[in-house]
Amino acid sequence: MITESFAFGQSVIHRLDPRLKVIAGTLFALVAALADRFDVLGAALALAVLMALLARLNPVAVLKRLALVNGLVVFLWVVLPLTYNGPAWFNLGPFTVAREGVILCGIITLKSNAIVLWSIAFFSTMPVATLGHAMNRLKMPTKLVALLLLTYRYIFVLEAEMAQLVRAAKVRCFSPGTNLHTYRTYAYLVGMLMVRAADRGERVHQAMVCRGFSGKFHCLDEMRFNSRDAAWAGFLGALIFFLAIWQWTL
Amino acid sequence: MHISEGVLSGPVLVSGAVFALAGTAYGLQKLDFDKIPRAAVLSAGFFVASLVHVPIGLSSAHLILNGILGLLLGWAAFPAIAVALILQAILFQFGGITTLGVNTVIMAAPAVVCYLTLGKVVAKGGPMGMAGAFACGFFSVFLSGIIVALALYFTEENFFEAAAAVLGAHIVIMIVEGIFSVMCIEFLRKVQPGMLPGLSK
């Protein structure tokens, strides 16, 4: 099941103006992605943990997400220290471990987790519909926003259709294995899903035209930027600015 | 196939973003407002289908399907994939905001290449059409893997072995995607030929 695990809540972060969250989320991610100092990235990770705590997210769910994200990081930890072309640090059985490889892995680990945690706190704490409206208010292309909102709208519908097709296959005693029959069954399932999706898309368009759709997608969400948002904007702006100064001038 | 946050260097992220912006802008320009609902529901279908895991030996892999997506959506594959990646980042934390550009190029560029080079061959059908469908599934994943490898290599030359391992691990997936594409395209040819490129109105 596709769910929006973190989208709804009553925390201070959840109540911020979505436009502010999009901007703060993006700026922090950019600074952290370009930073390469251990102290700066450590501070960034600490700030991201703080924001995740302030957003009062379910810690088990957050850790599960982080574990998934760290798959590539673990892979790099296995490969990189052994394959890095640099002065040897110590020997691990028949292998030599390069110091710079380990340092690079450390930096990537901090960076990756800081950005992902901060993104959970700022992007995933609103429903995608709200994100779409915020993007619209921030003057992103109308067509892109319409595509995002409609895709989001129909993911859940098509997930149910896919589940229906899989159920129908199971009722006919389909059990997946590594063979052509399995691949053919899945290929027909996916093909059928596409046929239904295309038909549904046409019907959705006709229904929209019936209701007067003429090429403009209206977002009715009125967003208010109040004094608390302004205070948070100042605070978050200062934090991100400080990280940037620390990284590139100190 | 995507690269997580925090791995790539600034120049690689920026060049990815520039290519993705150009492709998305062109794709949006070619996509009429009237076609947006259909494109959106189709890309929702691909989003769901890519969550399906097919068994490969003792393990399993999820489908990538960017070749078929390219055939069905053409240049609109760029904005459709950008949107799908935004949704994946928000809903599952796969990928993310800074890697959005690079990941869009990884998935969408091969889709559009397949559409431009193989679209006509696939539409004609027959044995050549089936070969084209196989090539479409195989090379879309292959090209994606090459772009992943290049992004890693341009970030840090020492990523070479890791990049080669990623590419090697995908060889079986390329073959499976190829077979899968042939079957899926042949199914569409029988059931709804108008969906294939060249035959649509």
Model confidence pLDDT, tens digit, residues B26-66:
999 999 888 899 999 999 999 999 888 888 877 888 889 99
Q: Is A172 helix (H, G, I), strand (E, B) or coil?
A: coil
Which of the two residues, B168 and B201, has the higher pLDDT score?
B168
Per-residue confidence at B17, pLDDT binned at 50, 70, 90? very high
Expressed in angstroms, the distance from the first to the final Cα of chain A is: 47
Within a domain: A105: yes
- For residues A121 and A22, state if they share a domain: yes
Total domains present in chain A: 2
Tokens of B100: 């959005």
* B37 min Cα distance to partner chain A (Å): 5
Question: Does residue A3 sit within a domain?
Answer: no
Question: Are both A145 and A189 inside the same structural domain?
Answer: yes
Mark whether A23 and A109 lie in a shared domain.
yes
Residue contact B28–A141, C-beta within 8 A = yes
Strand partners, A90: A97
The first and second tokens of residue A17, run together, are 């103006």
> Which helix (H) or strand (E) covers residue A91, if one does?
strand A88-92
pLDDT of residue B198: 62
- Does residue B6 register a pLDDT over 70? yes
Tell me the CA end-to-end span of chain B in Å, nearest whole number: 32
Q: Are residues A91 and A58 in the same domain?
A: yes
> Which residues between 141 and 160 in chain B have a beta carbon less than 8 angstroms from any beta carbon of chain A?
156-160
B65: closest CA among B56, B83, B53?
B53
Instruction: Determine the Cα–Cα distance for residues A73 and B5; give it in Å rounded to an integer.
Output: 10
The answer to whether A143 contacts B184, with C-beta atoms less than 8 Å apart, is no
3-state secondary structure of A230: helix
In terms of domains, do A229 and A185 share one? no
pLDDT for residue B114 is more than 60: yes
Please calculate the CA angle A77-A87-A74 and round it to the nearest 5 degrees.
0
Q: Which amino acid would we find at residue A67? A: A
CB contact at 8 A, B173 and B62: no
Q: What is the DSSP string of A17-47?
A: -HHHHHHHHHHHHHHHHH---HHHHHHHHHH
Structure tokens at A40: 């700066």
Q: Are residues A195 and A233 in the same domain?
A: no
Q: How far is CA A149 from CA A86, A141, B18, B52, B83, in A?
A: 49, 13, 24, 23, 9
Q: Is B168 on the interface with A (CB under 8 A)?
A: no
DSSP A223: P
The CATH number of the domain covering residues in B10-191: 1.10.1760.20
DSSP secondary structure string for all residues of B69-94: HHHHHGGGHHHHHHHHHHHHHHHH--
- Rounded CA separation A7/A3 (Å): 9
Q: Which amino acid is at A66?
A: L
Same domain, A235 and A116: yes
Q: Is A91 inside a domain boundary? A: yes
Alpha carbon distances (Å) from A156 to A4, A48, A84, B60, B138 = 11, 30, 44, 24, 29
For tokens 């100042």, what's the residue? Answer: A234
pLDDT in tens, B162-189: 888 888 888 989 999 999 999 999 999 9
B90 touches chain A (CB under 8 A): yes
Reply yes or no on whether the pLDDT at B201 is more than 70: no
B7 to A72: CB separation less than 8 angstroms, yes or no = yes
Taking CA atoms, what residue in A is nearest to B90? A124
Give the minimum alpha-carbon distance from A112 to chain B in angstroms, rounded to a whole number: 4
What the block records as the tokens of A125 is: 């704490």
Residue located via tokens 């003057």: A139
Q: What's the gap in Å between the CA of B201 and the closest CA on chain A? A: 13
Please check whether residues A165 and A235 belong to one and the same domain: no
For chain A, how many residues are written? Answer: 250
Question: Does A103 lie in the same domain as A40?
Answer: yes
Nearest 10 degrees: CA dihedral of B50, B145, A112, A62? 20
The domain of A233 spans 18-126+224-248
Task: Give pLDDT, residue A230.
Answer: 93
How many other CB atoms are there within 10 angstroms of residue A164's CB atom?
A: 12
A215–B4 C-beta distance less than 8 A: no
> Same domain for A63 and A118?
yes
Contacts of B39 in chain A (CB under 8 A): 147, 201
Q: How many CB pairs under 8 A join A and B?
A: 246
**A142 and A119 in a common domain:** no
Count Cβ atoms within 10 A of the Cβ of residue A89 and give its class: 0-12 exposed, 13-18 middle, 19 or more buried: middle
> Using CA of residue A166, residue A172, residue A178, residue A184, what is the dihedral sign?
negative
Tell me if chain A has a CB within 8 Å of the CB of B115: no
pLDDT along chain A (250 residues), means of 10: 84 91 94 92 94 91 87 82 77 76 89 93 92 91 92 94 94 90 93 94 93 81 86 94 90
Which tops the pLDDT comparison, B201 or A82?
A: A82
Task: Give the C-alpha separation, A173 to A238, whole Å.
Answer: 60
Q: Does residue A32 fall inside a structural domain?
A: yes
Nearest C-alpha of chain B: how many angstroms from A217? Answer: 9
> Do residues A109 and A174 share a domain?
no
pLDDT tens by residue, B130-153? 999 999 999 999 999 999 999 989
| pLDDT tens for each residue of B85-94 | 999 998 888 8
Ranges of each domain in chain B: 10-191
pLDDT at residue B156, as a whole number: 83
